[in-house]
Structure 1
Amino acid sequence: MNGLYALKPWYAARLSGVRAFLVAHGVCPSAITVSGIVFGAVAGAVLALGETGPWVAAAVATALAGRLACANLDGGVARDGGRTTRFGAVVNELGDRLAEYAALAGCLALADPALVACAALAATLPSWAALAGAAAGARRPQGGPIGKTERCVLLVVFALTGWPAWLVVLAAGSLLTAVVRLARVHRELRTAPAPQETGS
């Protein structure tokens, strides 16, 4: 683990009480995933007002903190409540992407649409690289340098300053992260034994 992803165990421990409460009350993990999308949309709506500054940054930070909490809780609630399903993993991935898109969409009020589109597309690349590696049998790489948590931080800084350069950093950092993750996958698969072919 590297980057802010290294804080995930600590963050999960802080949410343990909330997780236990949700499990005890039978809250559906998919409902938590949808809540994460709503938090992302709230962050996007605040940005869509076209204002920047400390209060805007604080509102965006609060919404994105909720989004990250939901991203941490949905899987934990599913595991602790014995409700894990393979399709639940699909919902989790889609929820992450939609929450990020919803937040980034708000940047259209403050930056060139082409730049926002590039940032949104680049933001998906680390996950695609990780999922491709997992599909090939590698352990799913996580972390940065610009992972999900770092992208949320960059959006907060963008909300504070309104400087489009932060979206450039987000896009370039996401691309670099995808390359780093692919390199990790390549190293692992290169040293793994090749699967044996079976006759038909």
Structure 2
Amino acid sequence: MPTIYDLKPRFQALLRPLNASLVRHGVTANGVTLAAMTVSIALGLVIALNPGASEILLLMPVWLFLRMAMNAIDGMLAREHGMQSSLGAIFNELGDVISDAALYLPLALVAGVNPVSVVLLVVLSIMVEMVGVVSIQIGGSRRYDGPFGKSDRAFGFGLLCLLLGIGLIPGGWCDGLLWVMLLLTLLTLVNRGRHALAEAGGIQS
């Protein structure tokens, strides 16, 4: 199933000139990763402290797009400019999980949004990324199988925050969107696990 992640090569091509400029100015891959995580935590705290301020939620889709760009940039800096490191790999994986939790968990405090669905979604999302990484441990590659990976989650939560931010009252549409995201995340978890095992020779895909 096609996912937003499939657009990554084209997105990276658009960002490549910016990467060259960042290298000239001494920006590092780890610096970009840590900056993205820091801003994500800060925005999450602002939302958590002001759960009734719908206008703040409008910052979420904007930041999620910028964070997606920063995630692409740090990867290209590492691969294409000799900045790969073991520490960078840890920052990259851990930073994504921390940023997701920091940004999405505060939405459970927004009136009318089902907190159980939000928490379950964050927990399942962490499990999805963990399976993707564990695939390496069992002899496979880092798995990014869909249909609801990191970029797709960002789109889903960005849409949710956009609708809430423009004043749409939470209701059946909000519950429905969260449940669709939950089901797609669960399917992604199963897909990554199956493909990881198949790649490692454990099962037939």
- The interval holding the TM-score normalised by the smaller chain is 0.7 to 0.9
Identity of aligned residues (%): 27
Alignment of 1:169-184 (within 5 A): 169-184=180-195
Alignment of 1:80-95 (within 5 A): 80-95=80-95
Could you state the TM-score of these two structures normalised by the residue count of structure 1? Answer: 0.84
Residue aligning to 2:51 = 50
Report if the CA contact (8 A) 1:129-1:178 is conserved.
yes
Number of residue pairs the alignment of both structures matches: 191
Residue aligning to 1:104 = 104
Residue aligning to 2:117 = 115
Deviation at 1:191, TM superposition (A): 7.6
- The change in CA–CA distance for 1:164 and 1:187 in structure 2 (over 3 A counts) is same
Give deviations 1:13-42, integer Å, cap 9, x for gaps.
111122111111221222211221134335
Residue aligning to 1:134 = 136
Report if the CA contact (8 A) 1:57-1:157 is conserved.
no
Deviation at 1:181, TM superposition (A): 1.0
1:22 paired to 2:33: no
Question: Unaligned regions of 5+ residues in structure 1, if any?
Answer: 193-200
Residue aligning to 1:196 = none
Counterpart residue type for residue 101 of structure 1: A
Q: How far apart in 1 are the matches of 2:175 and 2:105?
A: 14
Partner SS, residue 201 of structure 2:
helix
Cα-Cα RMSD: 2.4
Give deviations 1:38-91, integer Å, cap 9, x for gaps.
3433553565433587x6664211110111111111121122331211121011
Could you state the TM-score of these two structures normalised by the residue count of structure 2? Answer: 0.82
Report if the CA contact (8 A) 1:33-1:95 is conserved.
yes
Question: Unaligned regions of 5+ residues in structure 2, if any?
Answer: 165-169
- The change in CA–CA distance for 1:46 and 1:63 in structure 2 (over 3 A counts) is farther
Deviates more, 1:125-134 or 1:112-121: 112-121
